Amino acid sequence: MAATIAVASAKGGCGKTTTVILLATYLAQAGYRVTVLDGDINQHAAAFGLLSDLDNFRVVPDITEANVLRAIRTAEADGADVVIIDLPGGTSVLSLKAMHCAHLVLIPTQTSLPDVKDAVKTTQQVDDAQEMARIPIQRALLWTRVPAGFESVSARHVRQHVEAMDLPLFRTALMERAAYREMHVTGKTPAQTDPMGAAAANVAAIAEELLARLTPKENA
């Protein structure tokens, strides 16, 4: 059975699709067969999929509440090792169905109080899916679009506030990098354009942490 990861947020603009693409392509380059299901209204992951030339990586567009369960089953039947679902912002039946099937719900959020409030709303939606599934569903927040260097007072306050809430949180943050914006134009990942660069190293650290979080589930 494939490991299924739902990437969700109650709002847009938090780097959700960028996170999906970076993790999916890293895993594909590491030898995993990865299928991305694009349920976001903007279909940016699907657009990237048309540009990309990576092996082991494909994107299925136009995922809706009507076809998401079938799409997950099809991806598994086609031999996917990992299925990553790019969900639309907000709450929806599509999100609930995807979370219900997920081994992990990854919640990207920026270091601002409004973003964190929306991330908490998303964790509450995971709780609803967990009640439906009647089994625990892992979830974790991922800081995104974090500027390199100096941390502002407000960002530090928000980060400390989340840490005090004891929410599951990735140790590594997704930094703000030009390479992450450029890949939507070029179809090339940071590991393809500059494999020894800071952007590629940042993605690798997050992806390896993701794999570590999935390992107990896969061995259960």
How does pLDDT run across 183-206, given as a tens digit for each residue?
Answer: 999 999 999 999 999 999 999 999
pTM for this prediction: 0.92
Q: pLDDT band for 220, please (50, 70, 90 cuts).
A: very low
Q: Say whether pLDDT at 162 is over 60.
A: yes
Provide, rounded to the nearest whole percent, the portion of the chain with pLDDT above 90. Answer: 71
Contact predicate 47/12, CB 8 Å: no
pLDDT per position as a tens digit, 9-38: 877 777 899 999 999 999 999 999 999 999
Q: Which two tokens stand for residue 51?
A: 């540009």
Q: Are 72 and 36 in contact (CB under 8 A)?
A: no
pLDDT at residue number 150? 65
- Domains annotated for the chain, with CATH where assigned, are 3-215 (3.40.50.300)
Would the pLDDT of 217 be above 50? Answer: no
pLDDT average, residue stretch 36-52: 96
Backbone φ and ψ for 46, nearest 5 degrees, come out as -65, -40
Q: What is the pLDDT of residue 157?
A: 73
pLDDT given at position 218:
39
Q: Given pLDDT bands bounded at 50, 70 and 90, which one contains residue 152?
A: confident
